[in-house]
Amino acid sequence: MVLQRALVSVLSLSIPGVLHADIKPDNIMVDEGTTMGLPCIKLIDFSNSMQFEEAHAYHDTFDVASLSYRAPELIYGAEFDFSIDIWAAGITIAELFCGRTLIQPSSREGLATQLAELFGQPPDGLFDGGKFATQLLPRVVNRPSSFGIHEMRQRLSAALGANGTQEQLLLLDLLSQILRYDPRKRLRPCEALCHPFFCARFPFQVDYRKCAPEPLPFCKSIKIRRSSGCWVMWEVQVAAAP
């Protein structure tokens, strides 16, 4: 439920071009009220949020998001977009699953090293043009090469202490596709919402015609309304997957 709500929040922000830029467990609130009999989960603290067009203002320091939840492109000083929010959501859900902090760096260098220990070093050439690449890449050069999806699932399973149930295997597969070094290969929120992990609770797939050029099958529509100058998710209509 928390992951699904977090992804819907990231989706509803990305459509009008907003980056939350500080997704972490402290900024996910469980409301005592309910929605259709389920807890109401909200994404809070928009003090660091920005329009996509404002991202260039951070290209000097790239100090965006709390350090432990900072996406690789921010670490290495490369251009960034909404994918930083999906990365942070993935780290957040991993931590909520295992009940502890997944990565505990004290510096940019420490974060690059810890990510390399968990996920391998970045793919060749991915961040070569980044502002901090020459400073950081030599620190991870002796780590294994970046892993494929299967290896990622295995490493995440060990790091999170998963016990191999079908539900946990699906979650690991989902996280392994969210926590990718290359933001272009990272799942988008709509794609993540259509992952089989959600089928048991939400037996449907979500249409993302509003935010991607090619819609998924078996879907109807996403409706968005504007409230007090902000875009918010209003309703998601879905069609049952076959």
Identify the active-site residue in 22, 85, 173, 207.
Answer: 22
Identify whether 124 is a catalytic site residue: no
Per residue, the 3-state secondary structure of the chain, as one string, reads CHHHHHHHHHHHHHCCCEECCCCCHHHEEEEEEEECCEEEEEECCCCCCEEHHHHHHHCCCCCCCCHHHCCHHHHCCCCCCCHHHHHHHHHHHHHHHHCCCCCCCCCHHHHHHHHHHHHCCCCCCCCCCCCCHHHHHHHHCCCCCCCCHHHHHHHHHHHHCCCCCHHHHHHHHHHHHHCCCCCCCCCCHHHHHCCHHHCCCCCEECCCCCCCCCCCCCEEEEEEEEECCEEEEEEEEEEECC
Cross-strand bridge partners of residue 51: 18
- Alpha-carbon distance of 134 to 238, in angstroms, equals 47
Contact indicator for 160, 97 with CB cutoff of 8 Å: yes
Alpha-carbon 240 to chain mean position: 25
Catalytic residues: 22
